[in-house]
Amino acid sequence: MCGIFMNSVAAGLLSAAMYGVFVGAEDTSKGGVSRLAQMRNDTIPEAVVHGGRPLVDAGIFKTGIDSSALKENISTSVAELLSYNTSVFIRQSGRASLSTISLRGTSPSHTKTLWNGMKIDSPMLGMTDFSMIPAFLMDSATIFEGASSVQETSGGLGGAILLETRLPENEGFGLGYIQGLGSWLTADEFLKISYGGKRFSTSTGVILSTSRNNFRFINMDKKEIAYDENMQIVDSWHPVERNENGEYRDLHIMQELGWKTGRRGRARLSAWYLDSWRELPPMTVNYGSPEDYINEQREKTLRAVLSWTGNWDACHLRIQAGWAGTYLAYDYAVDNGTGRMDSMTASRSRTGSLQMKAEMSRYFGDRWLLTAMAEGRREHIRSADESALTADGTPQGYDAARTGISVAASVKWKATDSFSLSLTLREDMEDKVFSPPVPAFNAEYLVWSNWDFRIKAAASLNHRFPTLNDLYFQPGGNPDLRPESGISYDIGYSLSRTFLNCLDIFAEGGWSDSYIKDWIAWMPEGAKKNFWTPVNVMTVHAYGIGQSLKAGWTFAKDWELGLNGNFRWSPSIDSSRSGNSADKSFGKQLPYIPEFAASFTARLSFREWSVLWKWCWYSRRFTASDNSESVPPYIMNDLSLDRRIKFRKLDLAVGAEIRNLFDERYVSVISRPMPGINFEIFLSVTPHFSRK
């Protein structure tokens, strides 16, 4: 009842706000484009780009995230960014909790994440927690889907996400500060100082996010009971609870340094430091008291990439060295009744990853492009539960390292003005184990140039080596695991067109089909039933259709409307028979992979005003492998309003965001509550310095 009331109120406010905006448009339109994000970071306005495609993208299935979405506000993580701007599913274990991706019906470890060319997936877990990456710090995000990821990295059976940060493009000093204040004592702060010179440029960005995060929710999974004097139940109700033990504090420092080395070269150092402390909230079915336990994790991560790029007329060379080091601590302790906390788990993991990479590309005329890449990696992990000593008195855990080498070469050929082909061949080695050669084939044909209508096709083999946890974790690690292998095909189209110089449309879509063999899953197995162990257990057939549509419409003077819609149908089917007649998972959708997903954003700008509506929908996610249990589908709406105020010496911008606009009750992961309607306001200050 309360939810209906809130829905009505929110819908009414929204309608009124929209009405006011439209009526105001007729009276006050003057000119100019307003977007808080633009002002905040001098980002490129959202635009639909079309026309000739670079040869390097021939036949590639990729989705770029608009820069305006990345810079929407400082509290948005890449997890939320992907939820609202693509059709991938992000599995969130709560607000500011572990958020992992399912791309094209695959598991989180099947999507590889790169930052400025360096892999940043945890070598321990093989996946990325996207809640730990603020979108605002990134300047570019691109998803390479399925077979198209092979040209960027290996192991991306679902695909790869490339994140990039950039040096300041303008000369002169830059300074920006943003303060966000939101529900549950949430505070987000951002400071950026930059300098761009002729030979040297630097940029330092800091984001600090803190929140009590103790949102209220009606716990429908529990009941509280009232007894009479005879201990007979006289009443029961679903309690209103808070998301206790959910506090967090995340600090990010991003440093960019760039300097020109001679006429054609440029050196660059990117460093990203993360210091995070997060409590882990209990499940909705936990009757224990939060005071009786500690459940939290701390992470300190430093990632750094030093690179040198040289550009000649037809040749591009990049050499880079990267380091990623993480200290991850997880503590679970319970009160033993005396007020003392007994440590049940004190997991301490130190991971280090050194990566060296060289890439070269060379055009031969305007029809041939050859690229070659060689990469070496050294990963080292020390992971131990210091609360549990083995019989010989040492902590349970493992200390393992491995060396990996990847080489790849590709040739792209523009056979005619309309037809391009690409062939990539990749070879990987991990600890002297060679993968089978990984070929990828891409083709693209321009069918109708007026609409820039192209058809594309891609196919590849791929594989993924087990993570170091898969191999060595104690207890359960399985050194006998085989690498997962996959084959995938894509066929699709893209088109773009401008109408009457005021309406830009871009659409793309396609069919994808992949088979993954030797899928690794953790479960009690054989004689190891009192702990979990990874096994090559499944064959999975993941396929589906994806469709996206973007439009930019300047429909009246000073008015702009940007639309971005995405849809995906992605069955991901367990195709392996276990030999157990009680196993009903054959032919069923994999758990936590929604069959349908969609997102939509609409940004309406009028002069210095901007309204953004974000919407996403996920169909039910099965929680059982036989599809006998599931969590309900959900629709989420966010709405934000920005206003920019220009002064001679500085720009101000104020913004407000309403999240979960209709106060929907929803979960992404079973028994993990998500917040209802909540708010955050932002104030941005950008002083003007003289710029060339």
Partner 1 sequence: MIQHTFKKSIAAAFGCLAVLSGCMKWNDGNEETAVTSPKEGTTLFIACEGQYQYGNASLSWYDTGSRTVENDVFRRANGQKLGDVAQSMTLENGTLWITVTNSNVVFATDPATCKLKGQIAEGLSQPREIRFISEEKAYVSQMNDPRIAIVNPSTFSVTGYIDTGMDNADGCSTEQMILMGTDLIVNCYSFQKEILIIDTRTDEVTGRIETGVQPCSIRLDKDGKLWVLTDGGGWSGNPAGYEAPALSRANLEKLSIEKRMDFPEGSYVSSLQMNTAGDSLFFLNGGVMAMSIYDETLPEKAVISVEGANFYDMTVCPENSEIYVSDAADYQQAGTVYRFSSKGEQRDRFEVGVCPGAFCWY
Nearest distance from C-beta of residue 89 to partner 1, angstroms: 16
The residues in 105-124 that bind partner 1, with binding defined as CB under 8 A, are none
Stretch binding partner 1 (CB under 8 A), from 12-20, 74-82, 111-119, 317-325 = 12-20
676 by DSSP, 3-state: which?
coil
What is d(CA 140, CA 63) in angstroms, rounded to the nearest whole number?
Answer: 11
CB-CB neighbours of 330 under 10 Å: 16
666 binds partner 1 (CB under 8 A): yes
For partner 1, the closer of residues 572 and 625 by Cβ is: 625
Stretch binding partner 1 (CB under 8 A), from 180-188, 336-344, 367-375, 450-458 = 336-344
What is d(CA 179, CA 466) in angstroms, rounded to the nearest whole number?
Answer: 42
Please return the burial class of 52, using the count of CB atoms within 10 Å of its CB with bins 0-12, 13-18 and 19+.
exposed
What is d(CA 41, CA 61) in angstroms, rounded to the nearest whole number?
Answer: 29
220 binds partner 1 (CB under 8 A): yes
What is d(CA 639, CA 604) in angstroms, rounded to the nearest whole number?
Answer: 11
Residues 6+ apart with CB under 8 A from 272: 115, 137, 165, 252, 253, 254, 255, 301, 302, 303, 304
CB-CB neighbours of 604 under 10 Å: 21
629 binds partner 1 (CB under 8 A): yes
416 binds partner 1 (CB under 8 A): no
391 binds partner 1 (CB under 8 A): yes
285 binds partner 1 (CB under 8 A): yes
**Residue that has been written with the tokens 């002729």 in this structure:** 198
284 binds partner 1 (CB under 8 A): yes
# binding residues, partner 1 (CB under 8 A): 83
Distance of CA 364 to the CA centre of its chain: 36
Judged by CB under 8 A, the residue of 206, 271, 302, 334 near partner 1 is: 334
615 binds partner 1 (CB under 8 A): yes
634 binds partner 1 (CB under 8 A): yes
336 binds partner 1 (CB under 8 A): yes
How many residues would you count in the chain?
692
Nearest distance from C-beta of residue 50 to partner 1, angstroms: 23
Judged by CB under 8 A, the residue of 51, 526, 649, 692 near partner 1 is: 526
What is d(CA 636, CA 647) in angstroms, rounded to the nearest whole number?
Answer: 36
349 binds partner 1 (CB under 8 A): no
Judged by CB under 8 A, the residue of 228, 231, 366, 432 near partner 1 is: 231
What radius of gyration, in Å, describes the C-alpha atoms of the chain? 26
671 binds partner 1 (CB under 8 A): yes
575 binds partner 1 (CB under 8 A): no
670 binds partner 1 (CB under 8 A): yes
382 binds partner 1 (CB under 8 A): no
CB 621 within 8 A of CB 592: yes
For partner 1, the closer of residues 89 and 136 by Cβ is: 89
Nearest distance from C-beta of residue 9 to partner 1, angstroms: 11
- The β-bridge relationship of strands 111-115 and 159-164 is parallel
Judged by CB under 8 A, the residue of 13, 49, 185, 283 near partner 1 is: 283
CB 574 within 8 A of CB 588: yes
5 binds partner 1 (CB under 8 A): no
> What are the C-alpha distances in Å from 431 to residues 314, 418, 438, 483, 639?
36, 43, 18, 13, 50
> What are the C-alpha distances in Å from 684 to residues 40, 46, 168, 183, 327?
7, 20, 19, 18, 33
527 binds partner 1 (CB under 8 A): yes
What is d(CA 661, CA 8) in angstroms, rounded to the nearest whole number?
Answer: 10
For partner 1, the closer of residues 234 and 447 by Cβ is: 234
14 binds partner 1 (CB under 8 A): yes
What is d(CA 259, CA 242) in angstroms, rounded to the nearest whole number?
Answer: 50
The residues in 643-662 that bind partner 1, with binding defined as CB under 8 A, are 661-662
For partner 1, the closer of residues 55 and 631 by Cβ is: 631
415 binds partner 1 (CB under 8 A): no
Closest CA to 184 of 117, 242, 123, 139: 242
What is d(CA 30, CA 349) in angstroms, rounded to the nearest whole number?
Answer: 58
Nearest distance from C-beta of residue 396 to partner 1, angstroms: 5
What is d(CA 192, CA 102) in angstroms, rounded to the nearest whole number?
Answer: 32
222 binds partner 1 (CB under 8 A): yes
Nearest distance from C-beta of residue 478 to partner 1, angstroms: 12
Stretch binding partner 1 (CB under 8 A), from 160-168, 267-275, 323-331, 619-627 = 619-627
Judged by CB under 8 A, the residue of 221, 244, 296, 513 near partner 1 is: 221
Closest CA to 121 of 297, 358, 324, 378: 324
242 binds partner 1 (CB under 8 A): no
Judged by CB under 8 A, the residue of 13, 556, 645, 681 near partner 1 is: 556
Binding mask 443-482 for partner 1 (x = CB under 8 A): -------------------------------xxx------
For partner 1, the closer of residues 225 and 401 by Cβ is: 225
N-term to C-term CA, the chain: 58
Structure tokens at 257: 């340094």
531 binds partner 1 (CB under 8 A): yes
210 binds partner 1 (CB under 8 A): no
For partner 1, the closer of residues 477 and 486 by Cβ is: 477
Judged by CB under 8 A, the residue of 13, 16, 225, 681 near partner 1 is: 225
Nearest distance from C-beta of residue 575 to partner 1, angstroms: 14
> What are the C-alpha distances in Å from 464 to residues 43, 392, 523?
36, 35, 19
Closest CA to 580 of 541, 525, 517, 528: 525
Stretch binding partner 1 (CB under 8 A), from 48-56, 128-136, 621-629, 647-655 = 621-629
Stretch binding partner 1 (CB under 8 A), from 288-296, 349-357, 423-431, 650-658 = 288-296
Judged by CB under 8 A, the residue of 43, 202, 255, 286 near partner 1 is: 286
Nearest distance from C-beta of residue 15 to partner 1, angstroms: 6
Cα-Cα-Cα-Cα torsion 62, 63, 66, 67, nearest 10 degrees, comes to -50
CB 136 within 8 A of CB 74: yes
Nearest distance from C-beta of residue 663 to partner 1, angstroms: 9
CB 367 within 8 A of CB 327: no
For partner 1, the closer of residues 187 and 388 by Cβ is: 388
Closest CA to 473 of 383, 403, 392, 401: 383
The residues in 146-165 that bind partner 1, with binding defined as CB under 8 A, are none
Structure tokens at 534: 């990874």
